[in-house]
Amino acid sequence: MTRHEVVLITGARKGIGRFLAEHFVNQGAVVEGCSRQRPGWKLPNYTHHAADVSDEAQVKKMISSIGRRHGRLDVVINNAGIAAMNPILLTPVSTVDRILATNFRGLFLVCRESAKLMKKRRYGRIINFSTVAVPMKIEGESVYAASKSAVVTFTRILARELAEWGITCNVIGPGPVATDLIDSIPPAKIDRVVSNLAIKRLGNFQDIANVVDFFVKPESDYITGQVIYLGGA
């Protein structure tokens, strides 16, 4: 991360997204964040967009605003995501649509529009969020894991298509982290997931920031299409 880089973080209102917004602001970056609702906090050098990432017009408007005000976009962190835990036989199709809309369609739109802006400077870092639920094949997380599996495949291909323009695309796959995404999951289930990791503890925000920092470094320009699962999943 070099000072004054422009960073976009989706799902920035709370949890990991908010932590990363503060993390990058503290490093001197200009941070743009988005979420459907406005946050109840402010930061210097931080601008929030009330935008739904699954809405094409809203995403285009947000990226256009970043381009107009900064003329550049250096880093995109696609953190926005929703989860729902249900056995497949009890999963309403509306849940499937909702999860895919945010976790995949939204990520696709943000990647596509961001890459158009990054391409101008022939530089960019895209970091997409997946999950350890992909390699761990956790029962009850089929739709969530499938949406995040799509993120992995999409990012690997995106990496090849955007390499020409100096844009790297990588994936971070966190394990359970204490955020409200796992609030609805029974503690016994979280314990089971953690016990199946090589490193048997919950992840924390700093673990994620560490990998993000690695991917966004200018020196990481030879690292693309890679997936790092945390905790040794």
Partner 1 sequence: MLLQSMQPKQKPLSRTEITALVISTLRDVLSRQSETRKHKKAVQESTPLIGEHSVCDSLGLVNLIVDVEQRLQEEHGILLTLADERALSQKISPFRTVSSLVDYIERLIREEIPNDAA
Nearer Cβ to partner 1 (114/147): 114
Q: Which is nearer to partner 1, 121 or 189 (CB)?
A: 121
Stretch in the footprint of partner 1 (CB under 8 A) among 16-24, 53-61, 74-82, 94-102: 53-61
Q: What is the torsional sign of CA 48, 40, 185, 193?
A: positive
Our CB check for partner 1 shows the closer of 10 and 114 to be 114
By CB under 8 A, residue 160 contacts partner 1:
no
Which of 56, 194, 227, 228 is the binder for partner 1 (CB under 8 A)?
Answer: 56
Tell me: does residue 38 bind partner 1 (CB under 8 A). Answer: no
Measured CA to CA in angstroms, residue 31 lies from 66, 223, 230 at distances of: 10, 23, 25
| Residue whose CB is less far from partner 1, 60 or 189 | 60
Spatial distance between the Cα atoms of 110 and 114, rounded to a whole number of angstroms:
6
Strand locations in the chain (E): 6-10, 30-35, 46-50, 75-78, 124-129, 167-173, 227-229
Closer to partner 1 by Cβ: residue 74 or 141: 74
Asked whether 165 and 120 are in contact (CB, 8 A), the reply is: no
Question: What's the longest Cα–Cα distance across the chain?
Answer: 50
The CA distances from residue 175 to 30, 164, 179, in Å, are 28, 32, 11
Q: How many helices (H) and strands (E) does the chain have?
A: 8, 7
State which of residues 36, 98, 116, 156 lies at the interface with partner 1 (CB under 8 A): 116
Can residue 217 be called a binding residue for partner 1 (CB under 8 A)?
Answer: no
| Nearest distance in Å: CB 97, partner 1 | 19
121 binds partner 1 (CB under 8 A): yes
Site for partner 1 in 64-93 (CB under 8 A): 64, 67-68, 70-72
Given the rule CB under 8 A, which of 57-65, 129-137, 174-182, 196-204 is the region that contacts partner 1?
57-65
DSSP 9: E
Q: Which residues here bind partner 1, judged by CB under 8 A?
A: 4, 56, 60-61, 64, 67-68, 70-72, 116-117, 119-121, 164
